[in-house]
A and B are shown apart, each in its own frame.
Chain A
């Protein structure tokens, strides 16, 4: 019998699929191509992130470890899911607060925090959480940056995330995302939105070090200031 089949027995977390370096390389290439070819394959974007994040993820994890709030997040491992969020309470919060604006964002764009893919190809249990956290916090990025979930908004958020996290998947998304935009949108993107996203990304402290679940009442403006995100154009 072969040696390869034993891979299946080294599961580090539920959903984990252990992979060889060759498989990761093939997955990275394949998922990149597929994500470009069929933008609706969100699972491919996720796989790309997991297979290329081997440098960026430990980096992020260390940033979190060295920050008091980030450290707490790593310890407590909070998850943003419909089952853990008290939607009624968040809706009742005053306008302009993080909680109220987050719920408004979810409703306006008809998205749910539960559609995030769980990690499969990250070979470290803590790093798997880090990438999971990054995915779940993505919608909050939209809220903080005031960007909708259309192609334009997504690209802007990707630029911000690319600077913030250094994840190759974000960099690729930021670079190739605009390919499908109209010239008018590209203009707005290039002249106003991207420079703002870059400036904010560089200026802001690490967005993964924010325990969002404990700051629902905080006004979005104040959180932006605290983090160092400039007001959206």
Chain B
């Protein structure tokens, strides 16, 4: 498991000759293929402890960030959502909860208007609608990593989610879906791990219906200097330790904090999203830029 190797210009030059352009893996320099492989291995090894680690690292705040994403999306029943890099299902489950509660309120309002019906008729209409508690909303969870999907499916079973939920193995850079299919595309804490972000954005554009929305939740850059220093201290000193103690895996979490530093900042990501063809691209900083939600529309 030689995740750390001594810097050797000669070695790098040789690899450069061998295969493809240089990329970053955290703070190391690797080829595209190597980067994909290493990232796959990182998530394979963290999959089982992924949720526990998220809670520990962010002190549970990641749940709030995901809730905010869902509120921003504000999906109505009947929405078809594609959640890419959705691994353990956090966004998917929130989506289902959200549309279910919106649907319930819809039904309640409907019932209010039907108060002049007979008991029998009210009962029958309620029964009919109950079998459509999601209002035909659907979410497809797509992830490149089998282990993450496995954990996600187990969670779904454990928590009782089944209706309106599908799990697909796929690559964000080359989605196994047809054009103009989805109402919303989300990628939460996943785009950072994609090797060719431009391709992922193009694919997002392709599979969205006209009028569809792109939403990206990702770690971003903190501009406030004091906060930035504290954040760095926490990231580099505490997070790998948490990884070792909780998951027995220092290196994957070292990779995590390095990859966050390497990821394009807010404005740069905005430009990339615009390049893919999206309009009305905007971003919202959460917690001073520790996390940002980027949004765009396909017109």
Residue of B nearest to A5 (CB): B27
**Per-position binary interface string of chain A over residues 1-45, scored 1 when its CB falls under 8 Å from any chain B CB and 0 otherwise:** 110110011010010010010110011001101100000010110
Do B242 and A23 touch across chains, with their CB atoms under 8 A apart?
no
Question: How many residues in B have their beta carbons less than 8 Å from beta carbons of A?
Answer: 23
**Per-position binary interface string of chain B over residues 28-71, scored 1 when its CB falls under 8 Å from any chain A CB and 0 otherwise:** 10000000000000000000000000000000000000000000
Could you tell me which B residues sit within 8 Å of A by CB distance? 2, 4, 6-7, 26-28, 232, 236-238, 240-242, 244-246, 248, 250-251, 254, 258, 261
Task: Collect the chain A residues with CB atoms within 8 Å of residue B261's CB.
Answer: 1-2, 5
Task: Collect the chain A residues with CB atoms within 8 Å of residue B4's CB.
Answer: 8-9, 11, 17
Do A27 and B244 touch across chains, with their CB atoms under 8 A apart?
yes
- Interface majority SS (helix, strand, loop, mixed), chain A: helix
Residue of A nearest to B1 (CB): A15
- Interface majority SS (helix, strand, loop, mixed), chain B: helix
Tally of contacts, chain A with chain B, CB under 8 A: 52
Do B236 and A2 touch across chains, with their CB atoms under 8 A apart?
yes
Question: In the complex, which range does the number of interface residues on chain A fall in?
Answer: 20 to 34
Do B245 and A31 touch across chains, with their CB atoms under 8 A apart?
yes
A120 at the interface (CB under 8 A from B): yes
Question: Contacts A8-B27, A26-B237 hold; do A120 and B250 have CB atoms under 8 A apart?
Answer: yes
User: How far is it, in angstroms, between the C-alpha of A148 and the C-alpha of B61 when the chains are bound?
Assistant: 46
Do A23 and B241 touch across chains, with their CB atoms under 8 A apart?
yes
Task: Collect the chain B residues with CB atoms within 8 Å of residue A41's CB.
Answer: 248
Do A34 and B258 touch across chains, with their CB atoms under 8 A apart?
no
**Could you name 5 residue pairs across A and B whose Cβ atoms are closer than 8 Å?**
A1-B261, A2-B261, A17-B4, A23-B241, A26-B241
- The distance from the CB of A4 to the nearest CB of chain B, in whole angstroms, is 4
Interface residues of A in 36-65 (CB under 8 A from B): 41, 43-44, 47
- The distance from the CB of A221 to the nearest CB of chain B, in whole angstroms, is 40
- The distance from the CB of B223 to the nearest CB of chain A, in whole angstroms, is 16
